[in-house]
């Protein structure tokens, strides 16, 4: 039996950790520079245990959804 999300040790413990992972995902998938990426908004979903980070660069915007336990990007959705 595996523990519930509330009992598991999170790898993305802070907002700073989540923003860092989100930026690395954007840098990997899009041709841009770190200095151009701005954090627009961050949100932690207590029920799912996921971080949502909105980032903007040049004329683009994206929401990066990450699993806080696995420290893994689940989805990058350009808006």
Does 5 reside within a domain? Answer: no
Residue 8 lies inside a defined structural domain of this protein:
no
Which of 11, 61, 18, 15 shows the shortest CA–CA distance to 36? 61
- Per-residue pLDDT tens for 51-77? 999 999 999 999 999 999 899 999 999
Assigned domain for 64 exists: yes
Query: Would you say residue 33 lies in a domain?
Result: yes
pTM reported for the whole predicted model? 0.84
| pLDDT tens-digit readout, 19-60 | 999 999 999 999 899 999 999 999 999 888 899 999 999 999
Task: Check which CATH number belongs to the domain holding 24 and give it.
Answer: 3.10.450
Structural domain of 74: 15-78
- Among 78, 76, 79, which Cα is nearest to 25's? 76
């Amino acid at each position: 039996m595996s523990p519930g999300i509330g009992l598991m040790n999170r790898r993305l413990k802070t907002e700073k950790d989540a923003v860092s992972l989100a930026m690395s995902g954007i840098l990997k998938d899009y041709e841009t520079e770190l200095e151009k990426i701005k954090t627009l908004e961050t949100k932690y979903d207590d029920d799912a245990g996921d971080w949502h980070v909105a980032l903007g660069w040049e004329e683009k915007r994206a929401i990066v959804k990450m699993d806080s336990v696995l420290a893994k990007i689940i989805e990058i959705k350009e808006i």
